[in-house]
Copies of this chain bind each other. A is one copy, B any other.
Amino acid sequence: MRDLMKFSKIPTATITRLSIYSRYLEAMAQEGVKIVASDKLSQKCGVNPAQIRKDLAYFGEFGIRGVGYFVKELLFEIRRILGLHKIWRMALVGMGNLGSALLAHQNFIRQGYEFAVVFDIDPGKVGRRLPNGQIIYHLDEMESVIAEKEIEIGVIATPAAKAQMVANRLISAGIRAILNFAPIQLQVPEGLAVEHVDFTVKLDNLAYQLTMANT
Protein backbone atom coordinates (compact mmCIF):
# COMPACT_ATOMS: atom_id res chain seq x y z
CA MET A 1 0.00 0.00 0.00
CA ARG A 2 2.87 2.31 0.81
CA ASP A 3 4.31 1.52 -2.64
CA LEU A 4 1.01 2.27 -4.35
CA MET A 5 0.76 5.64 -2.66
CA LYS A 6 4.30 6.46 -3.60
CA PHE A 7 3.73 5.30 -7.19
CA SER A 8 0.45 7.11 -7.68
CA LYS A 9 2.19 10.50 -7.52
CA ILE A 10 4.34 9.73 -10.55
CA PRO A 11 3.60 12.06 -13.48
CA THR A 12 2.29 10.63 -16.75
CA ALA A 13 5.16 12.35 -18.55
CA THR A 14 7.64 10.28 -16.49
CA ILE A 15 5.86 7.06 -17.46
CA THR A 16 5.93 8.08 -21.12
CA ARG A 17 9.65 8.84 -20.88
CA LEU A 18 10.34 5.49 -19.18
CA SER A 19 8.61 3.90 -22.13
CA ILE A 20 10.86 5.82 -24.52
CA TYR A 21 14.01 4.95 -22.53
CA SER A 22 13.01 1.29 -22.72
CA ARG A 23 12.75 1.44 -26.53
CA TYR A 24 16.31 2.76 -26.86
CA LEU A 25 17.66 0.42 -24.19
CA GLU A 26 16.10 -2.48 -26.07
CA ALA A 27 17.76 -1.44 -29.31
CA MET A 28 21.10 -1.18 -27.46
CA ALA A 29 20.62 -4.56 -25.77
CA GLN A 30 19.98 -6.10 -29.19
CA GLU A 31 23.18 -4.52 -30.50
CA GLY A 32 25.06 -6.07 -27.57
CA VAL A 33 25.75 -2.78 -25.75
CA LYS A 34 26.39 -3.58 -22.07
CA ILE A 35 26.77 -0.14 -20.49
CA VAL A 36 25.44 3.20 -21.69
CA ALA A 37 26.83 6.51 -20.45
CA SER A 38 24.17 8.77 -19.05
CA ASP A 39 24.83 11.50 -21.64
CA LYS A 40 24.66 8.98 -24.48
CA LEU A 41 21.25 7.73 -23.31
CA SER A 42 20.20 11.33 -22.88
CA GLN A 43 21.22 12.21 -26.42
CA LYS A 44 19.50 9.16 -27.94
CA CYS A 45 16.23 9.83 -26.14
CA GLY A 46 16.29 13.63 -26.45
CA VAL A 47 15.86 14.04 -22.69
CA ASN A 48 18.45 15.77 -20.52
CA PRO A 49 20.47 13.64 -18.05
CA ALA A 50 19.04 15.41 -15.00
CA GLN A 51 15.51 14.56 -16.14
CA ILE A 52 16.48 10.91 -16.70
CA ARG A 53 17.93 10.73 -13.18
CA LYS A 54 14.80 12.38 -11.76
CA ASP A 55 12.50 9.99 -13.62
CA LEU A 56 14.42 6.93 -12.40
CA ALA A 57 14.71 8.25 -8.85
CA TYR A 58 10.97 7.67 -8.34
CA PHE A 59 11.68 3.96 -8.41
CA GLY A 60 15.08 3.52 -6.81
CA GLU A 61 18.77 4.01 -7.49
CA PHE A 62 20.02 3.21 -10.95
CA GLY A 63 23.33 3.64 -12.72
CA ILE A 64 26.83 4.24 -11.41
CA ARG A 65 28.22 7.75 -11.26
CA GLY A 66 30.91 8.26 -13.88
CA VAL A 67 30.10 4.94 -15.56
CA GLY A 68 26.51 5.00 -16.68
CA TYR A 69 23.68 2.51 -16.72
CA PHE A 70 23.82 -1.25 -17.18
CA VAL A 71 21.61 -1.60 -20.27
CA LYS A 72 19.93 -4.93 -19.52
CA GLU A 73 19.47 -4.22 -15.83
CA LEU A 74 17.87 -0.84 -16.45
CA LEU A 75 15.69 -2.26 -19.22
CA PHE A 76 14.54 -5.08 -16.95
CA GLU A 77 13.70 -2.65 -14.15
CA ILE A 78 11.82 -0.24 -16.42
CA ARG A 79 9.81 -3.07 -17.95
CA ARG A 80 8.96 -4.30 -14.46
CA ILE A 81 7.90 -0.78 -13.37
CA LEU A 82 5.71 -0.39 -16.46
CA GLY A 83 4.13 -3.80 -15.88
CA LEU A 84 5.67 -5.34 -19.01
CA HIS A 85 6.89 -8.51 -17.30
CA LYS A 86 3.78 -10.18 -18.75
CA ILE A 87 1.86 -10.32 -22.04
CA TRP A 88 -1.17 -8.00 -22.04
CA ARG A 89 -4.20 -9.44 -23.77
CA MET A 90 -6.05 -6.96 -25.95
CA ALA A 91 -9.32 -6.84 -27.89
CA LEU A 92 -9.23 -5.00 -31.21
CA VAL A 93 -12.52 -3.44 -32.28
CA GLY A 94 -12.82 -2.48 -35.95
CA MET A 95 -11.31 -4.53 -38.76
CA GLY A 96 -11.04 -1.76 -41.34
CA ASN A 97 -7.75 -0.55 -42.82
CA LEU A 98 -6.43 0.72 -39.50
CA GLY A 99 -7.42 -2.42 -37.61
CA SER A 100 -5.74 -4.59 -40.25
CA ALA A 101 -2.61 -2.44 -40.08
CA LEU A 102 -2.50 -2.70 -36.29
CA LEU A 103 -2.89 -6.48 -36.39
CA ALA A 104 -0.01 -6.75 -38.85
CA HIS A 105 2.33 -4.41 -36.95
CA GLN A 106 5.12 -6.42 -35.36
CA ASN A 107 5.73 -3.88 -32.60
CA PHE A 108 2.80 -4.89 -30.42
CA ILE A 109 3.82 -8.45 -29.71
CA ARG A 110 7.49 -7.42 -29.54
CA GLN A 111 6.60 -4.98 -26.73
CA GLY A 112 4.38 -7.45 -24.88
CA TYR A 113 0.91 -6.73 -26.29
CA GLU A 114 -1.19 -9.39 -27.97
CA PHE A 115 -4.39 -8.93 -29.97
CA ALA A 116 -6.15 -11.95 -28.49
CA VAL A 117 -9.58 -11.20 -29.99
CA VAL A 118 -11.02 -9.06 -32.76
CA PHE A 119 -14.52 -7.59 -33.12
CA ASP A 120 -16.43 -6.06 -36.02
CA ILE A 121 -20.05 -5.64 -37.06
CA ASP A 122 -19.68 -6.28 -40.80
CA PRO A 123 -21.47 -9.58 -41.62
CA GLY A 124 -18.90 -10.09 -44.38
CA LYS A 125 -16.11 -10.12 -41.79
CA VAL A 126 -17.65 -11.70 -38.67
CA GLY A 127 -16.77 -15.38 -38.35
CA ARG A 128 -13.69 -15.14 -40.58
CA ARG A 129 -10.43 -16.59 -39.25
CA LEU A 130 -7.41 -14.25 -39.49
CA PRO A 131 -3.88 -15.33 -40.49
CA ASN A 132 -2.77 -15.24 -36.81
CA GLY A 133 -5.59 -17.59 -35.85
CA GLN A 134 -8.03 -15.12 -34.28
CA ILE A 135 -11.68 -15.34 -35.27
CA ILE A 136 -13.55 -12.07 -35.90
CA TYR A 137 -16.42 -11.92 -33.41
CA HIS A 138 -19.55 -9.81 -33.63
CA LEU A 139 -19.77 -6.86 -31.24
CA ASP A 140 -22.81 -8.50 -29.65
CA GLU A 141 -20.62 -11.32 -28.37
CA MET A 142 -18.32 -8.89 -26.58
CA GLU A 143 -19.37 -9.49 -22.96
CA SER A 144 -18.88 -13.25 -23.01
CA VAL A 145 -15.77 -13.28 -25.25
CA ILE A 146 -13.94 -10.67 -23.18
CA ALA A 147 -14.62 -12.51 -19.93
CA GLU A 148 -13.71 -15.90 -21.38
CA LYS A 149 -10.48 -14.75 -23.06
CA GLU A 150 -9.42 -12.64 -20.06
CA ILE A 151 -8.97 -9.46 -22.08
CA GLU A 152 -7.50 -6.49 -20.22
CA ILE A 153 -7.15 -3.71 -22.81
CA GLY A 154 -9.58 -2.61 -25.52
CA VAL A 155 -8.23 -1.02 -28.72
CA ILE A 156 -10.72 1.07 -30.70
CA ALA A 157 -10.01 1.32 -34.43
CA THR A 158 -13.55 2.15 -35.58
CA PRO A 159 -14.77 5.27 -37.36
CA ALA A 160 -15.23 8.27 -35.02
CA ALA A 161 -19.03 7.93 -35.11
CA LYS A 162 -18.93 4.43 -33.55
CA ALA A 163 -16.11 4.93 -31.05
CA GLN A 164 -18.14 6.10 -28.02
CA MET A 165 -20.66 3.27 -28.43
CA VAL A 166 -17.79 0.78 -28.65
CA ALA A 167 -16.12 2.29 -25.57
CA ASN A 168 -19.38 1.95 -23.60
CA ARG A 169 -19.68 -1.70 -24.59
CA LEU A 170 -16.05 -2.44 -23.75
CA ILE A 171 -16.57 -0.87 -20.33
CA SER A 172 -19.79 -2.84 -19.69
CA ALA A 173 -17.85 -5.95 -20.64
CA GLY A 174 -15.39 -5.17 -17.83
CA ILE A 175 -12.49 -3.53 -19.70
CA ARG A 176 -10.53 -1.07 -17.50
CA ALA A 177 -8.15 0.37 -20.12
CA ILE A 178 -8.78 1.66 -23.65
CA LEU A 179 -6.43 2.72 -26.43
CA ASN A 180 -8.43 4.92 -28.79
CA PHE A 181 -7.37 5.54 -32.39
CA ALA A 182 -10.64 7.21 -33.41
CA PRO A 183 -10.36 11.01 -33.70
CA ILE A 184 -12.78 11.83 -30.87
CA GLN A 185 -12.48 12.50 -27.15
CA LEU A 186 -14.12 9.56 -25.33
CA GLN A 187 -16.32 10.11 -22.27
CA VAL A 188 -15.54 7.43 -19.70
CA PRO A 189 -16.28 6.90 -16.00
CA GLU A 190 -13.74 7.93 -13.36
CA GLY A 191 -11.00 5.36 -12.78
CA LEU A 192 -10.90 4.10 -16.33
CA ALA A 193 -7.57 4.39 -18.13
CA VAL A 194 -7.86 5.88 -21.63
CA GLU A 195 -5.09 6.85 -24.01
CA HIS A 196 -5.73 8.55 -27.31
CA VAL A 197 -3.39 8.05 -30.28
CA ASP A 198 -3.21 11.21 -32.37
CA PHE A 199 -1.00 10.69 -35.41
CA THR A 200 -0.67 14.43 -35.92
CA VAL A 201 1.10 15.31 -32.65
CA LYS A 202 4.42 14.11 -34.06
CA LEU A 203 3.80 16.08 -37.25
CA ASP A 204 3.63 19.24 -35.15
CA ASN A 205 7.20 18.53 -34.06
CA LEU A 206 8.28 18.26 -37.69
CA ALA A 207 6.37 21.40 -38.71
CA TYR A 208 8.08 23.27 -35.89
CA GLN A 209 11.54 22.07 -36.90
CA LEU A 210 10.93 23.00 -40.55
CA THR A 211 9.59 26.40 -39.52
CA MET A 212 12.65 27.06 -37.36
CA ALA A 213 15.02 25.92 -40.09
CA ASN A 214 13.47 28.44 -42.48
CA THR A 215 13.48 31.35 -40.01
Contacts and interface: CB of A to CB of B under 8 A. Distances in A.
Contacts of A112: 207
B101 A210 contact: no
Interface in A18-45: 18-20, 22-23, 27
A179 to B, nearest CB: 6
Interface residues of A, number: 69
Contact of A208 (B27, B82, B108, B205): B82
Interface stretch (A6-14, A64-72, A128-136): A6-14
Interface in A174-202: 176-179, 183, 185, 191, 193, 195-202
Nearest to A4: B215
B83 A211 contact: yes
Interface centre among A15, A193, A207 (most CB of B within 10 A): A207
Given A13-B47, A101-B97, A104-B97, A205 B200 contact: no
Contacts of A12: 46, 205
Contacts of A110: 183
A84 B204 contact: yes
Contacts of A183: 105-107, 110
Interface centre among A98, A110, A179, A204 (most CB of B within 10 A): A204
A177 B212 CA distance: 12
B212 A7 contact: yes
Given A15-B204, A153-B206, 4 more contacts: A98-B98, A110-B183, A113-B207, A178-B206
Interface of A: 3-4, 7-8, 11-13, 15-16, 18-20, 22-23, 27, 46-48, 81-84, 88, 96-98, 100-102, 104-108, 110-113, 152-153, 160, 176-179, 183, 185, 191, 193, 195-213, 215
7 contacts: A82-B208, A96-B101, A97-B101, A108-B203, A195-B202, A195-B205, A195-B206
